[in-house]
Structures are given as structure tokens and as C-alpha cells.
């Protein structure tokens, strides 16, 4: 894996390639700042999402209906252009004798967002991780995001929103459970991102 100096050198090369003077005052510290920013933006690779999912049997007695956490903002980087995409996540599950600390759901979203991503994979990773570690009756994940690679280049459709979902268990097999989850996501998000 390249070291910090090598990464900073790559940033200087990019600056020179796009016709600016990497040594001028305003750009002199940019390589260091870019490496620091990318270290943060890709910090999800250093975390195991399964390790943050603290589950409780206490509090889950006979609770077998929908639990949802919504309006979880996230920022990620598109793996095709290394351009930002951002949006909101909505996650729900139906417990099977165990519940999870609600902040842990937000942490799982954050871990997968802090990797080079495509929205479809990220949606599935969140759902699969919760299904594997909680063993609930169902998991549902919806992500709504705007992609700067689509807004600022190519087709240039500013404000376009991409919605992805992943469903497991009863959300796939029970139409009423699925409708309840999807209704909650629609009510929470509205049209704004």
C-alpha cells in the first residue's frame, strides 16, 4: 500500500497534469489536505461492521414488529469516477428475540459509505450485514442519493435522485410487511435530499 508521501506526490502530479502550478501558495498544502480527506472518506475499509452491532435480548421480549431508523445522512465516493454521492438511508428490521442499539445501525451505514462504492452494492451490504448479525425476521434498506458524477458531468441532470432498496425475510415474502416498511420510507423522505 502506498505511503503518505507517495499519495501526496500523486496529488501533485494531478495538479500539474490539469495545468496549474502545484508549488504556488494556494496549492502548496493541497496534497497533504487531500490525503487527510481521503483517509477520512475511505475509513470504512478499516472497520468491521459486524463488530459494531451490539445486540440485546433484554428489551426485546415479545417484540416482533417493525423497528425503523431513518433520515440517516451519508456521504460516499462513486468507484467509477471517485466523485461524491450523498443522500439518506432508511433501515428497518423485524426482531427475532434480539434488538440492536439504534446508533449501531447508523454506524453500519457509515462504515459502508466510507468506502469506494456503488449505491446498489452499499444498499445490499447494509441489509446483508444486519441479516447476518441480528438474524431478524426481516431487514429492509432504502437509500436515496444524488450523484455528482451524474449532475456535474456527462448527462448533467442536477437534482436527479437514485433510489435503491434491499429486502430480506418477511419483507420479501409478506406483502403487508413490505408495504409497511416502504410506506415508512416514503413518509420520512418526501422529495427533499
CA 163, CA 189: separation in Å to the nearest integer? 11
Rounded distance, CA 174 to CA 171, Å?
6
Q: Which long-range contacts (CB under 8 A, 24 or more apart) does 57-62 make?
A: 57/97, 57/98, 59/99, 60/95, 60/97, 60/98, 60/99
Identify whether the C-beta of residue 138 lies closer than 8 Å to the C-beta of residue 91: no
Closest to 102 measured CA to CA, from 132, 69, 128: 69
Integer angstrom CA distances of residue 117 from 30, 45, 86, 111, 180: 24, 11, 11, 11, 28
Question: Strand 162-169 to strand 84-94: parallel, antiparallel, or no bridges (unpaired)?
Answer: unpaired
Neighbours of 47 (CB within 10 A): 16
Contacts of 107 (CB under 8 A, 6+ apart): 49, 52
Residues with a catalytic annotation lie at 78-81, 119, 147, 149
Amino acid at each position: 500500500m502506498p505511503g503518505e508521501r507517495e499519495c501526496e506526490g500523486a496529488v501533485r502530479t494531478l495538479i500539474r497534469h490539469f495545468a496549474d502550478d502545484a508549488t504556488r501558495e494556494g496549492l502548496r498544502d493541497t496534497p497533504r489536505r487531500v490525503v487527510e480527506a481521503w483517509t477520512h472518506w475511505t475509513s470504512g475499509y478499516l472497520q468491521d461492521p459486524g463488530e459494531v452491532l451490539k445486540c440485546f435480548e433484554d428489551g426485546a421480549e415479545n417484540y416482533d414488529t417493525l423497528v425503523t431508523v431513518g433520515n440517516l445522512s451519508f456521504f460516499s465516493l462513486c468507484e467509477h469516477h471517485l466523485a461524491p454521492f450523498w443522500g439518506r438511508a432508511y433501515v428497518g428490521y423485524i426482531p427475532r428475540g434480539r434488538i440492536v442499539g439504534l446508533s449501531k445501525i447508523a454506524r453500519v451505514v457509515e462504515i459502508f459509505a466510507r468506502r469506494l462504492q456503488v449505491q446498489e452494492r452499499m444498499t445490499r451490504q447494509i441489509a446483508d450485514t444486519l441479516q447476518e448479525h441480528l438474524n431478524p425476521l426481516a431487514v429492509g434498506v432504502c437509500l436515496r442519493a444524488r450523484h455528482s458524477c451524474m449532475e456535474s458531468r456527462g448527462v448533467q441532470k442536477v437534482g436527479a435522485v437514485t433510489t435503491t432498496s434491499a429486502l430480506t425475510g418477511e419483507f420479501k415474502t409478506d406483502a403487508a410487511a413490505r408495504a409497511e416498511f416502504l410506506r415508512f420510507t416514503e413518509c420520512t423522505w418526501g422529495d427533499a435530499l
